[in-house]
A and B are shown apart, each in its own frame.
Chain A
Amino acid sequence: MAQVMALTAPFLALIAKLLSGANVRWIDSQPDTCQRVYFANHTSHLDALVLWSCLPREVRSVTRAVAARDYWEGGAVRRHIARSFNVLLIDRENIKVHQSPVERMIREIGNRYSLIVFPEGGRTSGDEMGEFKSGLYYLAKKRPELELVPVYMENLNRVLPRGEVLPVPLLSCITFGPPMWLEAGEPKTDFLARARQAVRRLKDL
C-alpha cells in the first residue's frame, strides 16, 4: 500500500494542479513544515485536493486535509484518492461525545502533522462566504501554538461546481495569507469573525 501511495500522491498533485491551472501566491507568508492549520473558503469538492497539491512536496507529506467521510468514502475511486493524499475523514452525521471531530483532529496530528480545514462546514455557492463554524476556535483553544494560515481559493467553484463530476479546466488562484493566532481571552464570535475576515481580505489582494 505504501508503494502505491508513493506513486499516486505526486501524480495526483500534478493532475490537480494541471486541471485547476492553480496559480499559488504566498502573501506575507512562507511555506513551512511547522505545525499549521490552513483554513480556507469552501466552494468545490476539489478544494481539499487542490490546496494540498499547491503546497511544496515536503510540506505536503506532513499535511492532512480534513474532509467529510460520507463524500470521500462514496465509491472506490474517491476512497482511493482520499487514501492517496492521506485525508483525515470526519463523520458529519453521528458525532459522539468523546469522538468530537476536534478531539480526533488533535489526536491524529500529534506533534507532526498540519491540517487543512474548511470552517464553513459545507460548500457555499461561491459568491459570498458562509459563517465559520466553531471547530476552528476549539482547535485553536486546545492547541494555541498552532499557526493558523488563512487561504483564499478563487474560481474552483467554476472548475467543479456542486453536483458535477466532470471538471472544466479554468484557471484558478490560491492565496496563502499571514499566520494568525487566537488572542488570550478572545471571545469565540470575535475570533471566528476575524478568521473569516482574514480569508475574505485575500480575495482583493
Chain B
Amino acid sequence: MTNNGWWPWSTLQQLIAAAPVESAGEQPRAQIYWLLGVVIGLLAIAYAVSVWLKRYPEGTLNPALVERFVNRIRVWWIMCAILVAGFMLGPVATVILFGAVSFWSLREFITTTPTRRGDHRALFWVFFGFTPLQYILVGLSLSWDLYTLYSIVIPVFAFLYIPARIAVAGDPRRFLERAAKIQAGLFICVYALSFAPALLNLPLRPRAEDAAWAGDSHLARSGLLFYLVLLTQLADVFQNAWSRLVGRRVIAPEISATRTWEGFLGGVTSTTLIGALLWWATPFGFWEAACMSMIVAVTAFAGNMVMSAIKRDRNVADFGTLVQGHPGVLDRIDSICFAAPVFYHLTRHFFSALG
C-alpha cells in the first residue's frame, strides 16, 4: 500500500495495522474454494427450502412471493455457474460469458425503449460493433494492457458515433432524447458491466502482512470477481430483508414503494460486516475489505434505484415482463452494473501494480 498523501488513507492504514491478521499458512487456492463451497452450500439449502415451499399447501403462503424466491434461487445458480465456469475454463470464458449477459441485457433495455426507424443503423452497430468490441478489448487485456482503449471506446467513440449516425439518418424528432437513451443503455449494460470481468486483468499486489497470498494469479482474481458479485447480491437481499422487517420511511415512493431508509442503512451495514469478515478471500485487509464492501453496497443500491426509475418511467414492473415471459436479466444485474466500474477502479488504483 503506498502512502499517496490522501489523509483518510493513511489513517486507514494505521487502522489496518491494528486489524486482526490470520496466520499465513493457508494457500489462497484453498481460501477461495472455501468461499465457493460455503456459497454453494447455502444455495443448496435455499434450493431445498424452495422445493419445500412449493409443496406447501395452497393458500397458506403468498404464491407470488414464493415464485419470486424460487426465481431468485434459480438466478443465483446461473450466476454461480457462470463464475465457476470462469474458474475452471479460464479468464477468456468468463469474458465471453459476461459479454453474452451484456448483449442480452442490452436487448432487454433497447426493446423496452421507444426507438424510431432512424435509429436502426445506429442500433445495429451498437449491438454488433461496439458491444463485441468492448469485450474483445477486455479479453485482449488479459495479455496486453489495453485499458486506455477499453475505458474510452464506448464513452468517446460510441457516444459520438450514435448521435452522428442518427442525424445522418435524418429524423429530428426527439433527437437528443433518442440518442441519450441508446447511450445510456450501452453505458449501463455493456460498458459498466464489462468492468466486472476486467477485474481479471488486474495484477493484484500481494497483501503486505500475508506472504502466502499469491494475489497475482487467475484464481485470486476470479475470487475477487466472485466476491464482488456475492456482495452485490447480499446487498440486495439485506436491503430487502431490513426494509421488510423494520422499514418505515420510504425513500422515493414513486420510484420504489418497498425501499426504505431503514432497509438501506441495515443493508449497507450487514453487507459491510459480511464483506469484512470475508477479507481473507480477497487482496484486501480487514478494514480495506470493510470499506470496499460498504462502497459496493451503496453503489448496488444506486443501481437498483436507477433501474427502478427507468422502469417506472416506462410503466413496467420488470424488464422481463414488457416482452412477455422473457427472463429479466437486466432486473438481476442492475446492482452489478453500478458496482463493477467503481469497484474496479478503486481496486486498480489502490491494490494493483497498475495503480
User: Which residues of A does B touch, CB under 8 Å?
Assistant: 21, 23, 25, 154-155, 158, 161, 164, 166-173, 175
- CB neighbours (8 Å) of B127 from chain A are 168-169
Q: What are 25 A-to-B residue pairs whose CB atoms are below 8 Å?
A: A21-B111, A21-B323, A21-B326, A23-B323, A23-B326, A25-B324, A25-B325, A155-B111, A155-B323, A158-B111, A164-B120, A164-B121, A166-B121, A166-B124, A166-B128, A167-B124, A168-B123, A168-B127, A170-B107, A170-B110, A171-B107, A171-B108, A171-B111, A171-B323, A173-B325
Nearest to B103 among chain A residues (CB) is A169
B117 at the interface (CB under 8 A from A): yes
Where chain B touches its partner, the secondary structure class is helix
Choice from B107, B117, B324, B325 contacting A169 with Cβ under 8 Å: B107
B141 at the interface (CB under 8 A from A): no
Given contacts A158-B115, A168-B120, A168-B127, contact A23 B107 (CB under 8 A): no
Q: Give 16 A-B pairs besides A23-B323, A158-B115, A171-B323 with Cβ atoms closer than 8 angstroms.
A: A21-B107, A21-B326, A25-B324, A154-B323, A155-B111, A158-B111, A164-B121, A168-B110, A168-B124, A168-B127, A169-B127, A170-B107, A170-B111, A171-B108, A171-B111, A173-B323
Beta-carbon contact of B124 and A23 below 8 Å: no
Tally of B interface residues using CB under 8 Å: 16
What's the minimum C-beta distance from A145 to chain B, rounded to whole angstroms? 32
- CB neighbours (8 Å) of B110 from chain A are 168, 170
How far is A172 from B322 in the complex, measured between Cα atoms in Å?
A: 10
What are the 4 closest A-B residue pairs judged by CB atoms, nearest first?
A171-B323, A168-B123, A171-B111, A170-B111
Q: B residues 304-355 with Cβ under 8 Å of A?
A: 323-326
Listed residue (B120, B124, B127, B325) with the most chain A CB atoms within 10 angstroms of its CB: B120
How far is A155 from B323 in the complex, measured between Cα atoms in Å?
A: 9
- CB neighbours (8 Å) of B111 from chain A are 21, 155, 158, 170-171
How far is A147 from B152 in the complex, measured between Cα atoms in Å?
A: 57
- CB neighbours (8 Å) of B108 from chain A are 171
- CB neighbours (8 Å) of A175 from chain B are 324
Nearest to B122 among chain A residues (CB) is A168
How far is A93 from B204 in the complex, measured between Cα atoms in Å?
A: 69
How far is A166 from B121 in the complex, measured between Cα atoms in Å?
A: 8
How far is A179 from B123 in the complex, measured between Cα atoms in Å?
A: 37
Given contacts A155-B111, A169-B127, contact A161 B120 (CB under 8 A): yes
Q: B residues 116-149 with Cβ under 8 Å of A?
A: 117, 120-121, 123-124, 127-128
Listed residue (A25, A167, A168, A170) with the most chain B CB atoms within 10 angstroms of its CB: A168
Nearest to B123 among chain A residues (CB) is A168
What's the minimum C-beta distance from A120 to chain B, rounded to whole angstroms? 19
Beta-carbon contact of A172 and B324 below 8 Å: no
Nearest to A166 among chain B residues (CB) is B124
- CB neighbours (8 Å) of A158 from chain B are 111, 115
What's the minimum C-beta distance from A158 to chain B, rounded to whole angstroms? 7
What's the minimum C-beta distance from A143 to chain B, rounded to whole angstroms? 32
What's the minimum C-beta distance from B173 to chain A, rounded to whole angstroms? 15
How far is A21 from B121 in the complex, measured between Cα atoms in Å?
A: 19
Beta-carbon contact of B120 and A23 below 8 Å: no
